[in-house]
Structure 1
Amino acid sequence: MAKPRKKPPLRTVQISCNKCRAPLYKYRKGGKGALVKCFIERIVEDHTQAVGVCPACGQEFARETMIRGTPAYKIIGGKVMVK
């Protein structure tokens, strides 16, 4: 499998908890599709204390994994909102 592109995308999105609307990440997302994974190297701002857990309500929204040889967070469907 190919690694993600070296040059990060220019578009940044705000990722927040779908339950309590607390901000989680500011992320450099590429493409038009739904947010399925977050590569750790593309996260610009991180508002969480624990990996994959919302700081306000404590809901788990992601799991840590390796995707194409790069560390990433696999997003659980319906747990986050992207703006």
Structure 2
Amino acid sequence: MAKPNKKGPVRTVQISCLQCKATLFKYRKGGKGALVKCFIERIVEDHTHTPCHCPGCGQEFARETMIRGTPAYKMIGGKVHMK
């Protein structure tokens, strides 16, 4: 399978925790759909201390996985908000 584009999209989105509103990432997202996965190489700013856990409330919002041979975070539905 093809790997995701290294340079990636130009549009950045703010990803925050739905429960405590803490900022998690600034991410270069492609497309118009819902946030299902975040490729780690496309994260511009990372505000988390431990991977996949919110720095504010500590809940797990994603799982680490490999998608098309690239490390990524697979988002858990209803845990994050994208703006």
Deviations 1:11-57 (A, max 9, x none): 00000000000000000000001000000000000000011000110
Give, in whole Å, the separation in 1 of the partners of 2:63 and 2:43: 15
Where do 5+ consecutive residues of structure 2 fail to align? none
Partner residue in 2 for 1:16? 16
1:62 equivalenced with 2:62 (yes/no): yes
Long gaps (5+) in structure 1: none
1:51 maps to: 51
| Whole-angstrom CA distance in 2 between matches of 1:18 and 1:72 | 20
Q: How far apart are residue 6 of structure 1 and its match?
A: 2.4
> What is the aligned partner in structure 2 of residue 38 from structure 1?
38
Give 1:5 deviation, angstroms: 1.3
Structure 2 residue aligned with 1:79: 79
Q: Which runs of 4+ in 1 moved over 4 A?
A: none
TM-score after normalising by structure 1: 0.97
TM-score (norm 2): 0.97
State, as a whole percentage, how many aligned pairs show the same letter: 80
